[in-house]
Amino acid sequence: MSIVQAQRQSLIFVFVTAVLIFAGNLSAAATGPGRAAVASAHPLATQAALEVLNKGGNAFDAAVAASAALAVVEPTGSGLGGGGFWLLHVAASGRDVMIDGRERAPLAATRNMYLDSAGKARPRLSLDGPLAAAIPGEPAALVHIAERYGRLPLIESLRPAIRYARRGFAVNAHYRRLAQLRRPVLERYRATAAVFLRAGAIPETGWVLRQPELADTLETLAEAGRAGFYEGSIAHRLVRAVRAAGGIWSLEDLRQYRVIEREPVHLRYRGLNVVTAALPSAGGLQLAVMLNILAGYNLGSLDKVHRIHLVVEAMRRSYRARALSLGDPDFVAVPRRHLASAAFAAALRQGIELNHATRSTALGEHGDPPGKGADTTHFAIIDAAGNRVSATLSINYPFGSGFVAAGTGVVLNDEMDDFATHPGEPNAYGLIGGEANAIAPGKRPLSSMSPTFIEAPQRIGLLGTPGGSRIVSMVLLGILEFADGQPPAAWVSRARYHHQYLPDAIQYEPEAFGARLRERLAAMGHRFEPLAQSYGNMQAILWERRGNRLRAASDPRGNGSSQVTNWPAAVSRGD
Ligand code: GLY
């Protein structure tokens, strides 16, 4: 071949390659952003997801990696001993599905198991120790997501978490604060104290927490799949430890546990599609009630006082509907279609006065303590092809039940407290429990976790947050920010307020209302319960199709990190 021929061939090669790359970018832009983004509550979980994406994994592999990493590095919020909801969008088919890995009540559970012989509640029993623990769903969910939706072998997605568990990670101030809060229960159980305390004391910030038994459990899960946790030696250890400390789990409980693929709740609000959590999360139906009520007003034309007033009235009514009607749909009949209908919202709207707060008691006296979990976690991931995951995971209270099953490294949840543990009677919060959410064997407790996608013609949002009963109202405020065209940094950082029907008061972060605004709302009849501390830890991603712009944001209240990649290698910071 002559030099001229060789030069011509190499020019053709360069041209064809350039055309292919350009075409590839165009087609990626048509279906996905061509890059990936991750936002999670811990930098090491974000790194784990990015590591797996860089190995060729998709968003679903990355979700397995982030979930497992959070189980190790944020043991206050979620873990193998807990559960959650993973909302998936499969780009190739356009399908949305919610993986329900929610815990379920043990088969030996009974409606009144947390009452004494006089029928009085014993609230600590559903919060602390193994009697508070429901059967975990997260291990089954991770295997399910990897097998059905991932590209990589499970071990590849679990590898970062196994490494963090073996080598350890430096605990942060958040860990210290929550360990202090849960100190009595962490000290009570030897296996728990051995993992989470340092010679019996709360560790200093920066102390390296190693969890070799949890690393072994993750490896067994990777090798044996679902059976690695729900059968065999891990299952035996879990049941033995639980029963020895007064719990009621059986091997049959673990053997029977299954994840459920559920159709998410799909809502329309002012030209937006909202895809969000189905029962047994209350979130989707509550958002339907609130957004349907608010769709009847032109919020943009109202002043701030009236806008907040109407949002609060919508919150009040949706939390009441939750209290009256919502529970595990596999156990109780829930009028889902009616609750999500425009007609129901219109009827509720008729009771709302534009200048006066409604008294919650005027709506009827039955309420329910919506999910009370104070911790929990959330992450959001989008990959280059446009696959998406928005996932909220929980062990309920910080460090769950505070009980680590010896020989497993797994801290068990206290999700049983998300049931109405004392139906028909006021609970510790002075509220009435909902019968639809009463305890029954094998039933899933009602949740507030609301992983969400928001879709406009040119913009796709992913968001969610921990925060117990306030999760749903936080997600509502996030959706309203999206509807106003705000970027994800605004959704995660805006000052928050909340009304959950009972108590009949607006709870709010210190920065949410100035004195003048509060005075004007008070003049309408609103009551206030200021919160000493901020709440929530929202993680969010926005993909703007026009201009193919990808942004990610982590709540400034937490320690999370969000990153946008230049797919597949270089990583740069997001919002
Ligand atoms: N445990 C928190 C929730 O499920 O809402």
The model's pLDDT over 381-390, given as tens digits with 9 standing for 90+, comes to 999 999 999 9
Q: Whose CA is nearest to atom 2 of ligand 1?
A: 373
Ligand 1 centroid to Cα of residue 385, in Å, is 31
| Residue 6 pLDDT | 38
Q: For residue 381, what are the CA distances in angstroms to 7, 46, 138, 203?
A: 44, 9, 18, 32
| Cα separation, 196 vs 190, whole angstroms | 10
Q: Write out the two tokens for 146.
A: 């990897």
Ligand 1 centroid to Cα of residue 516, in Å, is 34
| Cα separation, 449 vs 206, whole angstroms | 30
For the segment 2-40, what is each residue's pLDDT rounded down to a tens digit? 333 434 443 333 333 333 333 333 344 458 999 999 999
| Residue 121 pLDDT | 85
User: Given a cut of 50, is residue 492 above it in pLDDT?
Assistant: yes
pLDDT-wise least confident of 12-16, 158-162, 462-466: 12-16
* Percentage of the residues of the chain whose pLDDT score is greater than 90: 85
Q: Which of 550, 543, 547, 546 is nearest to 565 (CA)?
A: 550
| Cα separation, 552 vs 483, whole angstroms | 17
User: Given a cut of 70, is residue 101 above it in pLDDT?
Assistant: yes
Name the H helices within 182-281: 183-188, 190-196, 212-224, 227-230, 232-244, 251-256
| Residue 208 pLDDT | 98
| Cα separation, 128 vs 184, whole angstroms | 10
Peptide bond into 280 cis (omega under 30): yes
Active-site position among 276, 376, 377, 452: 376
For the segment 531-569, what is each residue's pLDDT rounded down to a tens digit? 988 999 999 999 999 999 999 999 999 999 999 998 653
For the segment 83-93, what is each residue's pLDDT rounded down to a tens digit? 999 999 999 99
Q: What angle, 0 to 180 degrees and rounded to 10, lies between the N-to-C axes of helices 471-483 and 304-325?
A: 140
Mean pLDDT for 517-522 is 98
- Testing ligand 1's pocket by substitution, the residue of 394, 414, 498 carrying the most ligand atoms inside 8 A of its CB is 394
Residues in CB range of 516: below 8 A, 6 or more apart: none
Reduced to 3 states, what is the DSSP secondary structure of residue 440?
coil
| Residue 375 pLDDT | 79
Ligand 1 centroid to Cα of residue 415, in Å, is 7
Ligand 1 centroid to Cα of residue 398, in Å, is 12
User: Given a cut of 80, is residue 296 above it in pLDDT?
Assistant: yes
User: Given a cut of 70, is residue 373 above it in pLDDT?
Assistant: no
Q: Which of 460, 540, 454 is nearest to 493 (CA)?
A: 540
Mean pLDDT for 148-155 is 98
76 and 47 in contact (C-beta within 8 Å)?
no
Ligand 1 centroid to Cα of residue 472, in Å, is 11
Active site residue 376: yes
Average confidence score pLDDT of the chain: 91
**Tokens 């041209």 label which residue?**
15
The answer to whether the CB of 394 is under 6 A from ligand 1 is yes
| Cα separation, 26 vs 20, whole angstroms | 10
| Residue 425 pLDDT | 59
240 and 208 in contact (C-beta within 8 Å)?
no
| Cα separation, 273 vs 282, whole angstroms | 18
* Percentage of the residues of the chain whose pLDDT score is greater than 70: 90
Q: Write out the two tokens for 305.
A: 């006082």
Q: Which of 195, 235, 201 is nearest to 215 (CA)?
A: 195
**pTM flag (> 0.85):** yes
- Ligand 1: atom nearest CA of 418 is 1
Residues in CB range of 366: below 8 A, 6 or more apart: 320, 323, 324, 432, 434
| Residue 495 pLDDT | 97
User: Given a cut of 90, is residue 371 above it in pLDDT?
Assistant: no
| Residue 288 pLDDT | 98
- Testing ligand 1's pocket by substitution, the residue of 276, 287, 449, 473 carrying the most ligand atoms inside 8 A of its CB is 449
| Residue 434 pLDDT | 80
Mean pLDDT for 402-418 is 97
User: Given a cut of 50, is residue 515 above it in pLDDT?
Assistant: yes
- Ligand 1: atom nearest CA of 417 is 1
pLDDT greater at residue 455 or residue 503 = 455
Q: Which of 330, 365, 372, 296 is nearest to 535 (CA)?
A: 372
User: Given a cut of 70, is residue 573 above it in pLDDT?
Assistant: no
Q: Beta strand 452-456 with 169-170: parallel, antiparallel or unpaired?
A: unpaired
